[in-house]
Amino acid sequence: MITLAVLVTAGIVGARNRAAPADYGKVILRNHVGDTGLAPVVFDHWLHRSKFTCRLCHVDIGFAMTEGSTDVTAAMNMQGHYCGACHNGKRTIDDKKIFASCAKSVTPETRARCERCHSLGKKGVRELEFAAFTQKLPKTVVGSGIDWEAAEDRGLIKPIDFLEGVSMRRQPLKVQKDFSIEARATWIDDVIFSHKKHALWNGCEVCHPDIFPSVKQGTTKYTMFEIIEGQYCGACHDKVAFPISDCQRCHAKPVQMGGSGPR
């Protein structure tokens, strides 16, 4: 039986998914803090993924998928790019005006607003805290501790996939059928991959072609070792999406002798 302890010992479960649930997927932005006296920015994926799809931020707005790869500056934010696409003091989400992200200078009046993002090591400056915000959301035992798929299915969260003035209107995606991926080992079930679930959050653009170069089933070959290293499925899982230690979330189909599907 594969247990969490076995996966930790084998090095399959990394430090990120052993972190506290509130810290799972947390990104610290230290660029351009300089001599402003402000702390580094804390970006909480749990809060933003409850409001927006991954595709909206990583395709329409343009944040890179790799931590530290997007050089976000205050000037860009104030021009309406990156964080400033929403945090401009004008846009309304869930009937609430979103505070502006940056100011030309740090003053006593603007500092309190700045510290809502520049909050590393500070207490009491965030409007929303993890425990209170996620209290009524369905739980799981790994990653952020939140079953985001179940939360969306129950209508508890309704991620936005379109920003006026930022997104391009697209035709609805044609729903693709689920397919099985044959496990290479006999001790684990085959994978059931759902395009519908992934397209809901990612569209097609997040995965193809950067993560999975081909859209033809069975063309792209990969292993669990590559996923553990952050390639293919590991680009999201073990970082923001549920960690790969939750084996049964993917390996959900009983193994059939001579099974079919891509590896």
CATH number, domain at 86? 3.90.10.10
d(CA 228, CA 13) in angstroms, rounded, equals 8
Q: Is residue 220 part of a domain?
A: no
Q: Which helix (H) or strand (E) holds 242?
A: none
Q: How many domains does the chain have?
A: 1
pLDDT at 30 > cutoff 80: yes
Which residues does 157 contact at the CB level (< 8 Å), separation at least 6? 50, 51, 137, 148, 151
Answer whether residue 5 is part of any domain: no
Identify whether 36 is part of a domain.
yes
Give the pLDDT score at 215: 85
pLDDT at 7: 47
In tens, the pLDDT along 68-107 reads 899 999 999 999 999 999 999 999 998 999 999 898 887 8
Flag whether 215 is in a domain.
no
| Residue at 165 is within a domain | no
- What's the pLDDT score for residue 261? 41
Give 96's strand partners.
93
Residue with more model confidence, 176 or 163: 163
pLDDT band at 255 (very low <50, low <70, confident <90, very high): low
Query: Is 240 among the domain residues?
Result: no
User: Side-chain half-sphere of 21: how many Cα atoms within 13 Å?
Assistant: 17
> How confident is the model over 147-157, as a mean pLDDT?
96
Residue with tokens 């932005």, as numbered in its chain? 29
Q: At 17, is the pLDDT very low, low, confident or very high (cuts 50, 70, 90)?
A: low
In angstroms, the CA 55 to CA 71 distance is: 19
pLDDT one-digit tens code per residue, 220-229: 899 999 999 9
Residues spanned by the domain of 78: 24-133
Mean pLDDT, the chain, whole residue set: 86
| Chain centroid to CA 98 | 20
Q: Which of 261, 202, 188, 196 shows the shortest CA–CA distance to 233?
A: 202
Q: Please check the confidence at residue 139 and state whether its pLDDT lies above 90.
A: yes
Query: What is the pLDDT confidence band of residue 263, given thresholds at 50, 70 and 90?
Result: very low
Contacts of 116 (CB under 8 A, 6+ apart): 99, 125, 126, 127
Q: Is residue 87 part of a domain?
A: yes
CA distance 230 to 16: 12
> Within a domain: residue 89?
yes
pLDDT for 109? 78
Cα–Cα dist 261/263, whole Å: 7
Structure confidence at residue 14 (pLDDT):
52
Q: How confident is the model at residue 171 (pLDDT cuts 50, 70, 90)?
A: confident
Integer CA distances (angstroms), 172 to 73, 169, 200, 203, in order: 34, 9, 10, 10
Write the single-letter amino acid at 193. Answer: F
